[in-house]
Structures are given as structure tokens and as C-alpha cells.
Amino acid sequence: MIPFFPCIPASLPPAGVHGGKKYKMTNEKTQVLDVIESAGLEQDTTRTLRQKFMPFWEQAEKWRETAAGLVVTDASQTREMKMAREARLALREIRINADKTRKALKEDSIRYGRAVQGVYNVIEYLIKPIEEHLLEQEKFAEIQAQRRLEALNAERERIAAPLVAWIDVDLPFTNTPWANFDEAKFQEIISAAQAAKEAEAEEAARLEAERIAREKAEEEERQRILEENARLRAEAEERERKAAAERAELEAQRRAAEEEARKERAERERIEADARRKAEADEAERRKAAAAPDKEKLLAFAAELQAIDLPQVSNAQAMGIRRRAERRIIKTACWIREQADKI
């Protein structure tokens, strides 16, 4: 089996052409062998590596000489470019085969490592319980003492757990395991914490009682204010109801008085209007009787006014004036007739 395979140092550059210049391949055969020999492997493993990898190196060395002689300096060198492709593909094939060999050998080494670990695990599984048993016998007194301390510490942690919030965190022993204290000191710490807890509870109870009493007094005051407000609101509503009733009664009386006054005024205005109409009729009759000849004169004048011959014109502006004059004459004649009929 092959437990380990070293990698060829990355510092060894490959042979070939770079940047249009020839360069010398430095990983000579002796260097490859040195890498294998200096790995410190078993003789069979070293021999296997030489057998597996040296053929790849020998094939690559042959193509190195070909590659060194291929230098393309012009696009017309199609033959050299074709040869370069062939050489590159051949070297690629060698590299791929070498990588396949590497993977196969590495997988074999992994399986070997797993087998070694598996055998060790079986031996360890057998020996370790025996070692632990013997260590317990060897350290029996120490282990028993440690177990007593752990049990004591667990018990004291159980006792102290409900009082953690009241233990003075500024004390220098805050991070000290409980089992490290003598019984008197532990009881002193617990008693102080218990007293602090009880004092805090008493203070909380006192504050709660004060809060309840204060809230009760505030609630009673709120209730008194609500009742007082309700009483004042009821009294105000009653006063408003009575005032509204009084206003309604006064409004009804006012409306009744206004209606009575309106009727009296209407009757008075009717009598006065009848008297005016009778007087006007009498006056009209007297004026009509006295002015009968004047009415006839006015009607004759209206007829003569409407019979006036207007001039014939052709200018648009003059025709507009003629039409307005005609309308005004007709309107004036009609007004004269209307007024004459009233005589």
C-alpha cells in the first residue's frame, strides 16, 4: 500500500516557449527522482512512484525538444503552427494520463489511511476502557473527594438558585464555586440573601398597599366628581327645560299678539283702500267729465303722429336711423293713446 505521495514543487517551471523566446526545462530527470527519493517513503512505495510517473516524464522530455525548436514569428508559418498544435495536444494527453494516475494512486493512499485508522480505532476501543478503569482505581481517593465536592456544590447551587438576585455581586467570592466555602460562610451568605429578599418583598408589599390605597382614593374622587357633574348637568337641563317652556309661551303670546295686530291692520288697510278707491273713482269721473274734449285732441294727435311720412333713404346708416325713429314714433303714439284713455 502507498500511504503518502508528495507533490512536485510548484517552483519548477515547465519547459517550452514563452513570449516568443526559448527557455530551458529545469525539472530534469534527476530532479524528478530527487523529489521521489527525498519523500522518505518505503522502498516499495518509492519504486511504485518511479514506475508510474517516469514514463510520463520521458514522453514529455521527447516533446520538450520538439517544442524548443518551434518558434513562430510570422502568420505564414502554418506548418510550424500545425506542429505546435500537435505537440500541445500530445503533451496535454500526457498530462491528463499523469493526472489520472495521480488520482488513482491518491485514492489508494486514502483507502490505506482509512484502514490504518480503522485498525487503530479497534485497538483504542479495547485499551481505553481498561485505562480508564485503572485510572479510577489509581485515583480512587481523589475521585471520591471530587465527587463529594461536586455533589456539595450542586446542592448549594440548588439552595442558592432562588436567591441569586439578592446575593451581593460585588463580593469577592461571587465567581467562587459554592463547595469552596465552609458551612458557616455559606450559611452567612444565604441568610444575608434571604434577609434581602424578605426586605424587598416587604417593601414591595408596602408600595403595593400604598398604590392600591391611592388608586382607591383616586377612584372614589373620580366617582364623586362624576356624580357631582351628573347632578349639575341634571339641574342645568331642568333649568333649560323651564326656560325653554317660558320662551315657548312668550313666543306663542307674541305670535298671537302679532296675528291680532295684523288682522286689525289688514282690516284698517281694507277700509282705507275702499275709501281711496271710492274717492279715486269719484275723482276720475269728475276729471273724465271735465276733460272729454282734451282726450279727443290727444287721440287725434297720436293718429297724426303715426301718419307722418318718413323720408326714403338708401344709406345703411341712414336706414338704421329711419327704423329707430319709426319705432319711437309708434311707441310715442301708443303711449299717448294709453294715457288719453285714462282721462
User: Is 202 inside a domain boundary?
Assistant: no
At CB < 8 A and 24+ separation, what contacts does 21-30 make?
A: 22/68, 22/71, 25/61, 25/64, 27/57, 29/54, 29/57, 29/58, 29/61
Domain boundary among the residues 137, 162, 181 is at 137
pLDDT one digit per residue (tens) for the chain, 343 residues: 333 333 333 333 343 333 333 334 444 566 667 777 777 777 877 788 888 888 888 888 888 888 888 888 888 888 888 888 888 888 889 889 888 988 888 887 787 677 667 767 777 787 788 788 777 777 888 888 888 899 999 999 899 888 888 886 555 555 678 888 888 988 988 898 999 999 999 999 999 999 999 999 999 999 999 999 999 999 999 999 999 999 999 998 889 888 988 888 888 888 888 888 888 887 876 676 565 577 888 888 888 888 888 888 888 888 888 888 888 888 988 898 898 888 7
Assigned domain for 334 exists = yes
Q: Distance (Å, rounded) from C-alpha 221 to C-alpha 225?
A: 6
Q: Which domain holds residue 80?
A: 16-137
Helix, strand, or coil (residue 205)? helix
DSSP codes joined into one string, 321-335: HHHHHHHHHHHHHHH
Q: Is residue 173 part of a domain?
A: no
Measured at the CA of 228, the angle between CA 222 and CA 229, to 5 degrees, comes to: 90
137, 165, 195 — which closes off a domain? Answer: 137
User: 155 lies in a domain?
Assistant: no
What's the domain count of the chain?
2
